[in-house]
Amino acid sequence: MANAPNAGYWLIVLNLQREDGLQPLTDEIDEAVASWKQQNHGQKIGDHLYEFVSTAELPLLTSAIQETLRYAASVMSIRRVTEPVEFGGYRFDRDDEIVCMTRSVHLDEDIHQNASEYDPRRYMKQKRFNKNGKPVTNHSMPWGGGVSMCEGRSVEFIDPCWILPNLLFRHFANKELKAFMVFLLLRYTLEIDSKSTERPTFMLERMGAGVMHPRGDLRVVLHARK
């Protein structure tokens, strides 16, 4: 759970700095909630938040989460060579260690158009990613990959409010981010404090350790929605 809070932070901050702010996400959630209420007369969305997040079609929010992870995550995986091999024009011998920096894929302009820009609609506009005419399956690896991918062991998470059997940690984190944003934007509006000039940047010395921490911060104004 170390990466989800930082991902939630960047999800808010990166969208707030766009011209339309968080309003498109709020509008999408409001429309989905209105549709849910029509189908569930007399029930309160707060009593069924997890069910709503699991079943509601929220393509913009889903895309924004994926894009935030692509844009802000930097995962480093280390592999030990078990047999001599030539790869990418390099020769590796047994017991050599190879450091895999997934962020180089996230920022590859041949895979992601305008890769250095944050585009919350990226994964709505593009479903397949290619490079040199070949499909790129691992075009985004915020959870790492292969044997060192974020653990997928089944767990049983029991809370006084809900029981979620057979969860995968990385999938739980994605659902957690969706639930957090739905809860937040249903109840509050956020905007950048007009008196604030500071803007956060990535703490680059944290590269390779997951979603990067912010250096600096962003002052915001929060209002309860009526």
* 88-93 mean pLDDT: 89
pLDDT per position as a tens digit, 99-126: 777 887 788 888 788 989 999 999 888 7
Q: Is 141 exposed, middle or buried (0-12, 13-18, 19+ CB in 10 A)?
A: buried
Q: What sections of 115-213 are H helices per DSSP?
A: 122-125, 169-187
* Residue 176 pLDDT grade (very low, low, confident, very high; cuts 50, 70, 90): confident
Give yes or no for a contact between 32 and 56, defined as CB atoms under 8 angstroms apart. Answer: yes
Residues in CB range of 122: below 8 A, 6 or more apart:
63, 66, 67, 70, 112
Mean pLDDT of 209-219: 86
Chain-centroid distance of CA 172 in Å reads: 12
Q: Are 212 and 6 in contact (CB under 8 A)?
A: yes
Calpha distance 63→150 (Å, rounded)? 20
Residue 192 pLDDT > 90, yes or no?
Answer: yes
Phi, psi of 95 (to 5 degrees): 75, 0
177 token code pair: 């981010």
Q: What CATH number was assigned to the domain covering residues 4-224?
A: 1.10.630.10
Please indicate, yes or no, whether the overall pTM of this predicted structure exceeds 0.85: no
How would residue 160 be classed by pLDDT, with cut points 50, 70 and 90? very low
* Residue 134: burial class (beta carbons within 10 Å; 0-12, 13-18, 19+): exposed
Of 221, 219, 212, 222, residue with least CA distance to 198: 219
Per-domain boundaries in the chain = 4-224
150 has pLDDT over 70: no
Q: Quick count: other Cβ atoms within 10 Å of Cβ 159?
A: 7
| Residue in the block written with tokens 């790869």 | 87
What does the pLDDT look like over 26-66, one tens digit per residue?
A: 999 999 999 999 998 888 888 888 888 888 889 999 999 99
Higher-confidence residue: 156 or 42?
42
Give 61: exposed, middle or buried? Use CB within 10 Å, 0-12, 13-18, 19+: buried
Handedness of CA 53, 56, 60, 62 (dihedral sign): positive
Token pair of 155 as six digits: 């767990």
